Copies of this chain bind each other. A is one copy, B any other.
């Protein structure tokens, strides 16, 4: 009855061709696809449902920390982007520019931008909204009583990217951008770190992605920021992925936008602002942290469905009875909860073979698969498979116990997935003090074919941009962050604060930083 399974459901495997494996996982799980518009993706229902879960949880966390949602214009006048010098430099270049507001019939029958409808000032499709939100803040903030102003926006943004990859780097993507204004530097810095903390908790407890937190070096900062903090995760090809950023903007953007307030003594001051964001890139990080050579593996807290259940028919005599059992099981499961959500249960009654179904749901990464066939019916049990375990993880569970056991299995799976990802990161995190060893660590074994290599190198750095760029130019290795909160995982953690000497120039250094290749 079952189809002959290929050696792995995803071809090629990670080891054979990691980049192509990634594309195939996205395709096999039906998450997203390229569109007719260069660099813009279509997020398909299963992929969008993951994003909806991310949005739901983060939105709650933002509201619990006092933020309110609002919505600002998609378009940014060109002159706004010109206001903050460093910001221009970083963002104004590759962007979608609206120059006309009408199409008319052209000489060859098609439509052309109407020459009579050229905009006086071009509009930029927002690549980020500091400047347009700053203009509103400048009007909203008059007195210290109006502060702090804690705003978040869920939106689409556009950055004209040359090389795109689904979820990881696309011309248009979905994100949230928090923007806050404060009366003091201390408060704004606290906010920056508070939101970094929210991101860390979310990544680790919901996405089961272990992250390292800390400030970026000057060269890796957000254009115009005083300090940029990031959460960084290690993917299975041992490249780092920046999964979220939180920026302390000092008074620079307040000065550019005119966000001023009267303090309690009657003095006019510029506000201190922050911004912070995560995007649909998180879905790419999820895929690359947890998926295996059979496809996507979803952490239960973020999975669109926790459980899929289907009947396995052999002949007609037990069909009716199995169908009844499936209905009852689905009903009982849907009345149960896992963490903050009712169990989401898919019932798959399609005609195709059990083998096809099994592989389809494996590739889609549903945490638990439940089958009920004639033998199960006779035994009064359902066959339950955890997506993150092999066939050895299958277990028969009595029908009456399903609603109680499934949340337990999901909780176990969630924590196992985090532990596995953490162990994987730990296994590829090394303190490296020798330049030759550093170079070797970041050099593919077989230079003819890109392969999985490297990891996180905890190495000393003197603090100079020069030494930093030397490594970037030579090895495409960058400082992912200064691990100011330490790094979980015993081996690595112990050696962060050792003093030493810069891996490039040999000058003294007080602590190690995290080097890696990255997305």
Cβ A102 vs Cβ B110 within 8 A: no
Cβ B158 vs Cβ A74 within 8 A: yes
The reply to whether the CB of A82 lies closer than 8 angstroms to some CB of chain B is yes
* Selected contact of A111 from candidates B88, B123, B151, CB within 8 Å: B88
- Identify which of residues 52-110 in chain A touch chain B, using a CB-to-CB cut-off of 8 Å: 52, 68-82, 88, 92-104, 110
Closest to A304 in B: B68
The reply to whether the CB of A287 lies closer than 8 angstroms to some CB of chain B is no
* Selected contact of A98 from candidates B97, B102, B136, CB within 8 Å: B97
Residues of B within 8 A of A41 (CB): 73
Cβ A94 vs Cβ B99 within 8 A: no
* Selected contact of A68 from candidates B49, B112, B122, B132, CB within 8 Å: B49
Bound-complex Cα distance A98 to B71 (A): 22
Bound-complex Cα distance A376 to B74 (A): 49
Cβ A160 vs Cβ B102 within 8 A: yes
The reply to whether the CB of A124 lies closer than 8 angstroms to some CB of chain B is yes
* Selected contact of A94 from candidates B75, B102, B125, CB within 8 Å: B102
Residues of B within 8 A of A99 (CB): 97-100, 113
Cβ B37 vs Cβ A75 within 8 A: yes
Residues of B within 8 A of A33 (CB): 136, 139
Cβ A102 vs Cβ B95 within 8 A: yes
- Chain A: residues with Cβ within 8 Å of the partner, total of 62
Q: Which 8 A-B pairs have the closest CB atoms?
A: A40-B73, A45-B68, A43-B71, A97-B100, A101-B160, A37-B73, A99-B99, A96-B98
The reply to whether the CB of A42 lies closer than 8 angstroms to some CB of chain B is yes
Closest to A160 in B: B101
- The smallest beta-carbon distance between A2 and chain B, in angstroms, is 21
Residues of B within 8 A of A124 (CB): 103
* Selected contact of A40 from candidates B42, B75, B96, B97, CB within 8 Å: B75
- The smallest beta-carbon distance between A90 and chain B, in angstroms, is 12
Extra contacts, 19 of them, besides A42-B72, A98-B125 (Cβ < 8 A), are A33-B136, A35-B132, A37-B73, A37-B75, A37-B123, A42-B71, A42-B73, A45-B68, A45-B69, A48-B68, A48-B69, A48-B71, A73-B172, A74-B125, A74-B172, A78-B103, A88-B111, A93-B103, A97-B100
Hey, what's the 0/1 contact readout for A478-493 against B, CB within 8 Å counting as 1? 0000000000000000
Bound-complex Cα distance A125 to B37 (A): 12
- The smallest beta-carbon distance between A163 and chain B, in angstroms, is 14
- The smallest beta-carbon distance between A132 and chain B, in angstroms, is 7
Q: A73-B35, A132-B35 are in contact. Are A101 and B95 (CB under 8 A)?
A: yes
Residues of B within 8 A of A78 (CB): 103, 110-111
The reply to whether the CB of A19 lies closer than 8 angstroms to some CB of chain B is no
Bound-complex Cα distance A77 to B35 (A): 11
Bound-complex Cα distance A77 to B75 (A): 19
Cβ A71 vs Cβ B101 within 8 A: no
Bound-complex Cα distance A125 to B111 (A): 15
List 30 contacting pairs A-B, 8 Å CB cutoff, sorted by A: A35-B72, A35-B136, A36-B77, A37-B76, A37-B123, A37-B132, A40-B74, A42-B71, A42-B72, A42-B73, A43-B70, A45-B68, A45-B69, A45-B151, A51-B71, A52-B69, A75-B172, A78-B103, A79-B110, A82-B111, A88-B111, A93-B103, A95-B101, A95-B102, A96-B100, A97-B102, A97-B113, A98-B98, A102-B160, A103-B124
Residues of B within 8 A of A147 (CB): none
Cβ B97 vs Cβ A101 within 8 A: yes
Cβ B103 vs Cβ A95 within 8 A: yes
Bound-complex Cα distance A74 to B174 (A): 11
The reply to whether the CB of A44 lies closer than 8 angstroms to some CB of chain B is yes
The reply to whether the CB of A135 lies closer than 8 angstroms to some CB of chain B is yes
Residue in A33, A79, A101, A123 whose Cβ sees the most chain B Cβ within 10 Å:
A101
Cβ B101 vs Cβ A96 within 8 A: yes
Hey, what's the 0/1 contact readout for A396-414 against B, CB within 8 Å counting as 1? 0000000000000000000
Bound-complex Cα distance A125 to B158 (A): 12
- Identify which of residues 120-149 in chain A touch chain B, using a CB-to-CB cut-off of 8 Å: 122-125, 132, 135-136, 139
Cβ B72 vs Cβ A111 within 8 A: no
Bound-complex Cα distance A494 to B135 (A): 55
The reply to whether the CB of A156 lies closer than 8 angstroms to some CB of chain B is yes
- The smallest beta-carbon distance between A472 and chain B, in angstroms, is 24
Closest to A88 in B: B111
* Selected contact of A70 from candidates B40, B45, B97, CB within 8 Å: B45
Closest to A153 in B: B48
Closest to A41 in B: B73
Bound-complex Cα distance A111 to B103 (A): 24
- The smallest beta-carbon distance between A337 and chain B, in angstroms, is 16
